[in-house]
Copies of this chain bind each other. A is one copy, B any other.
Amino acid sequence: MKFEVTILGSSSATPVYNRNPSAQLLNCNEKFYLIDCGEGTQQQLIKYGFKASKIDFVFISHLHGDHYFGLIGLLSTMHLNGRIKPIKIFAPAALMEILDLQFKHSETILRYPLEFVAITADTAQLIFENSDLTVSTIVLNHRIPCTGFVFTEKKRLRKVIVEKLEEENIPLEYYPLLKRGVDLTLPDGTILLNKDYTTDSDEPRKYAYCSDTLCDGSYFEQIKDCNTLYHEATFLHEMLERANQTHHTTALQAAETAITTGAKKLLIGHFSSRYKTLQPLLEEAVSAFENTQLAQEGSTFQI
């Protein structure tokens, strides 16, 4: 099953040096989940060849503008482009108030249902579930209420032993049921015991998105054992005091978080505009946790 994330924005606070404010597009089994939506996200979707119409779920971490100013434009474009299928938005309650006020004054009555789910930053909770994955919140520690999100695959399908099935001329049509653990009786009475033709599925994969936070460990339990951890790394560690003041994280702290929580891969982003080049941030993180990459615009990462 496809489970990958494309970075649409890596900048903190303001767009700068061709970096856009926060936004990521998660593709899980060809369903599209937008995570944060800074100004210009719809332009970024066009730039990297994604159709906004494919997005059915939006998750907004908090109401600092660099994480949501692009949402009203994206929703308006969907409306103008004739969307009729619903969209579901998970965000702090006040965002609906902000959207409603803007729709009111443009006299826009959306052609599609907008289902708004208000999330709070009090406790971590399961907020979404479908056949592919679950989404839970992470309670972060920022200047205003802020949640991250953990995307966890549902239990994955068993793996069929293709060579054996081909050798016994078992038609492809049987594979999906075998993957689901079913024993099969063929038309000629032959019984295929699932255990003989499949092996255990891989562990479900897990992606955590930690947008803006003081790196105080309070949320580590919620992001344990990620296959891929995205963690903000606004500053170099020499700016630790500034990071603490503004409730942000340094690249070194992000790397240490990956180690402590047992992440397999770390993506860092939300870079301060003071950094024209990002290499120093990457080097700092890699010095502590080697499997770190820059969450830069246009990059896609397998989770």
Contacts and interface: CB of A to CB of B under 8 A. Distances in A.
Contact of A144 (B66, B95, B102, B107): B107
Number of copies of this chain that the complex holds: 2
A230 B105 CA distance: 25
A165 interface: no
A141 to B, nearest CB: 15
B106 A16 contact: no
A74 to B, nearest CB: 9
Contacts of A43: 15, 20, 39-40, 43
Contacts of A63: 102, 105-106
A78 B13 CA distance: 11
A144 B14 contact: no
A15 B39 contact: no
Nearest to A76: B65
Interface string A159-194: 000000000000000000000000000000000000
A70 interface: yes
B15 A46 contact: yes
4 residue pairs, one from A and one from B, having the closest CB atoms: A39-B73, A14-B77, A63-B105, A94-B105
10 contacts: A14-B76, A14-B77, A16-B46, A39-B73, A63-B106, A65-B73, A95-B105, A97-B101, A101-B101, A107-B144
